[in-house]
Chain A
Amino acid sequence: MSTDAVVMAVLVAAALAVTLGVALGWAASRIEPDADSLVERIDALLPQTQCGQCRYPGCRPYAAAIAAGAAEIDRCPPGGAATVRALAALLDRPPRPLDPAFGGPKPARVAWIDEERCIGCARCLPACPVDAIVGAPRQMHTVIAAQCTGCELCLPPCPVDCIELRPVPAVSLRYRQPRAA
């Protein structure tokens, strides 16, 4: 009788394992990572310069391409090595160097319009992906430095080449510093 009991126990255990395995597999196939939230999470790591150097029309489309497996994670020069590292960690892939085909890292800069030379043609307005340029036709235009991402997209449309990129004005980043006595 005892052999019967052993066989029975083994059979029950095996059946249990098979059922659980199937159930878990099915569950896993149902709880696939939400594609949208993956795009969000990738987008959150991109610098939002919206420059298109990755050859996608902005950071979010590039995020969607990465999520869909259509693009590698090494195409964003403004983000540089730090962004590639962050993406690699999120997607659990080995980090890789930035692909130089898409451009190299540059120092942080913002656009500046030479208001003496600006003819007010307003062509730079629609080019700016973050609406950082203010102006109206036949008025001089100016860049709101705090909102400019330095994407350079306003340079080509300007007929008089009066826009240039300048180093970011030093912001005073301050933290409270209680001192002893």
Chain B
Amino acid sequence: MAARSRFPAGLALDTHKQQACGTPIVELALPAQVVLALDQGTGYGAEPVVAVGAAVAMGTLVARTDHPFASALHAPLAGTVVAIETRAAAVAGGRSVCIVIAGDGSDRVDDGVTPVPDADALSPDELAQRLRAAGIAGLGGAGFPTATKLASARDRRAQTLLLNGAECEPWICCDDALMRSAADDVVLGALILRRAAGAVRCVIAIEDDKPAAIAAVTGAIGRRRDDALTLEVIPAVYPQGAERQLVTTVTGVEVPSGGLPADAGVICQNVATAAAVARWATSGEPLLSRVVTVTGSGVERPCNVRAPIGTPLAALIAASGGYRGTPLRLIAGGSMTGRALPSDEVGLTKAMNCVFVATRDDIGARLGAVELPCIRCGDCASVCPAGLLPQQLHRAALADAHDALRDLGVRDCIDCGLCDYVCPSQIPLADRFRDAKRRLDEAAATAQKAADARQRHELHMRRLQEAATAEHRAFEDVRRRVRQPGDDPTDGAD
């Protein structure tokens, strides 16, 4: 039953999961206010469909979108829209337009929220559309709209739905807690997603350091009696939960460079996303809440919390007993791949699986780190799960050598942070690669714009020239006519 990790490298990290996992999931009381960022972490935002002052109920659509990378937003509580403005948000760049809703304490539910009794009768296309309308997005950390992934899986005829319960980041355990407490939901959601993806089988993959989750999911699968639904226990190796690496471990197939898992016949979904799909099917509830790990040495009682999307992080931290000691950084995501947040007023996003309140104990070693020259020890290359050569990539990144970066495969870097974790010279490799990728994108956009400008300029010049030629010809015509023999040329010139 146990598979070996089959991607190139990776590392078993010290785990800190016990901090938050000892206690059951805390259900957060409805906050007084929620801050819904239009961009939920993918870089693309939805468009508001409500105005300031509008009354909303739980589940009312407040922002819609046609963009494949953005997801619709619904009011997670009943109340009034009090602001639509740019605020600090847990997104790249630190700011996004947000819809702020003040709760009125009632439990009014939008009329549109009704159970979906016929989920089994819906065609895969209809299912995907309904999931898009419900704003369901990847809860594993990417926030990518589920319907978009389902569509690409159907286009590529992916046969396997791989449900990701690996959760390899050392501090995060929200998926573990969810699998233990709602394994039946996970399995129900998996079956719906399997149909929506047009896949024939479903594999739920869980790392072997989560025996309670494995037992719960095994039980739930047993109650279903479905031969095309299996559990795969995989070794706990970071970054096992990264999509490409997980696909390689479970199927033995490598995802082609620059390709999608669907190119290898697999669609990945997170276990928490499956549970959200099950909630939608049984109650009609769009994606209104998620389970998030609040942890780190900077909080009093690390725990997992189910909270409405948009809940200000300060409320989550309060639910975990408040701050402890001197927190240094507030990080969204785990210690390996997380991003620093601007403040604890930002709202919880669909993509946020962990609020990591770090103190000097957690990240002190890195804070004091002085970057030294690369000693070419090769440690980074031996752990890179993408099979890259970080030391060479780093040279190319410092020189901003775009061709070399591309040739060395910087696009396949999954930002896992292992290379800087092991680097004895404390070089912030992953950060540099993240930057390099951004610069490559910018250079590509600039080149595209220049090419467009060149083409438009050529057309512009050609048009001016044609206009000038036409004018010249008209002038010649007039001259020829006025110079008819017998006419007085000076008269006709006027």
Contacts and interface: CB of A to CB of B under 8 A. Distances in A.
Interface of A: 43, 46-50, 58-60, 126, 128-132, 146-147, 149, 170-181
B141 A179 contact: yes
A180 B414 contact: yes
B242 A179 contact: yes
A177 B415 CA distance: 7
Given A50-B453, A180-B141, A180-B414, 15 more contacts: A43-B454, A46-B450, A47-B450, A48-B451, A59-B457, A130-B456, A173-B445, A174-B43, A175-B438, A176-B142, A178-B242, A180-B241, A180-B336, A181-B169, A181-B270
B217 interface: no
B140 interface: yes
B454 A181 contact: no
Q: Which of A47, A147, A172 has the most CB of B within 10 A?
A: A172
Contacts of A129: 457, 460
A178 B437 CA distance: 13
A48 B453 contact: yes
B308 to A, nearest CB: 22
Contacts of B164: 181
A2 B438 CA distance: 72
B415 A130 contact: no
Contact of B142 (A59, A171, A173, A178): A178
A147 B141 CA distance: 35
Given A130-B456, A179-B415, A181-B353, A173 B442 contact: yes
Contacts of B421: none
Interface of B: 39, 42-44, 69, 92-93, 140-142, 144, 164, 166-169, 172, 175, 238-244, 270, 333-334, 336-337, 353, 414-416, 437-438, 441-442, 445, 449-454, 456-457, 459-461, 464
A48 B270 CA distance: 45
A180 B460 contact: no
A179 B453 contact: no
A175 B69 CA distance: 11
A83 to B, nearest CB: 11
Most buried by B among A43, A47, A132, A181: A181
Contacts of B437: 175
- Which of B144, B270, B337, B453 has the most chain A CB within a 10 Å cutoff? B453
Contacts of B92: 172, 174
* The 7 A-B residue pairs with the shortest CB-CB distance in the complex, in nearest-first order: A181-B241, A174-B43, A179-B141, A180-B239, A48-B450, A181-B167, A48-B453
B104 to A, nearest CB: 34
B453 A149 contact: yes
Contact of A180 (B44, B238, B454): B238
5 contacts: A130-B453, A171-B445, A173-B442, A175-B441, A180-B240
A170 B93 contact: yes
A149 to B, nearest CB: 5
Contacts of B242: 178-181
Contacts of B167: 181
Contacts of B166: 181
A48 B357 CA distance: 47
